[in-house]
Amino acid sequence: MGLAVSRDGGQRFRDQHLSAWDFTAEAVLVRCPRCAHCAKVVVKPGTPTTEHPVRSPRRLACGRCGCVRDARDPVQLGPASPGIVRDPFLRQPLWLQTDFDGQVLWAYNERHLDYLEAYVAARLREGYLTANHARIWMAMADRLPTWLKAANNRERILRSIARMRTSLS
């Protein structure tokens, strides 16, 4: 699945009706419970492809210290709770999160960060339209918090995203 963004100089964002769950099909970046460096929560190797990858068993793997943990509890569906944002599989703190005026700006992985960056940077944000041009609500872009959508926060949010991106190298 490609990134659901049209990049034409940062001027336009075209929603393709993605949800935050679509970004969990790839590795979710978390803080390792053992060494506190960046670890990945991935679909457990050997798992057959399922219709709903969000329900696939997950494994945390840290390339730095070798920590490996398998998810034992069911996936935690629903909105994020206030405070530290955790991955929905092993409930470890997300690696990509930062405070923004008392709110938490977060992303599951670099692709999610790219999506948020493109959304925030865009001067024109186009909603998702069906084949008969009907507007569909409830995509992730429709559910983003007001402070993230506000034009007066744009530059500061983009700087916060850039700082989060540096933690990936």
* Closest to 64 in 3D by CA, of 22, 89, 32: 32
Mean pLDDT of 126-155: 79
**Average pLDDT score, the chain:** 87
Are 59 and 41 contacting, i.e. CB atoms less than 8 angstroms apart?
Answer: yes
| Cα separation values, 16 from 5, 53, 134, 168, Å | 8, 19, 13, 26
pLDDT at position 136: 59
Does residue 9 or residue 156 have the better pLDDT? 156
- Spatial separation of the C-alpha atoms in residues 118 and 114, rounded to whole Å: 6
Asked if the structure places residue 2 within a domain, the reply is no
DSSP letter assigned to residue 149: H
Number of domains present in the structure of the chain: 1
Q: What percent of the chain lies above the pLDDT cut of 90? A: 59
Asked if the structure places residue 6 within a domain, the reply is no
pLDDT at position 1: 37
Asked if the structure places residue 97 within a domain, the reply is yes
pTM (2 d.p.): 0.87
Are 109 and 26 contacting, i.e. CB atoms less than 8 angstroms apart?
Answer: yes
pLDDT tens track for 22-65: 999 999 999 999 999 999 999 998 888 765 778 889 999 999 99
Say yes or no to pLDDT of 2 above 70.
Answer: no
pLDDT at position 48: 82
| Pairing, β 38-43 against β 58-61 | antiparallel
Q: What residues make up the domain containing 127?
A: 12-76+83-166
Long-range residue pairs from 58-61, CB within 8 A, at least 24 positions apart, any chain: 58/89, 58/90, 60/30, 60/32, 60/33, 60/90, 60/92
Say yes or no to pLDDT of 3 above 90.
Answer: no
Asked if the structure places residue 4 within a domain, the reply is no
* Closest to 120 in 3D by CA, of 3, 13, 31: 13
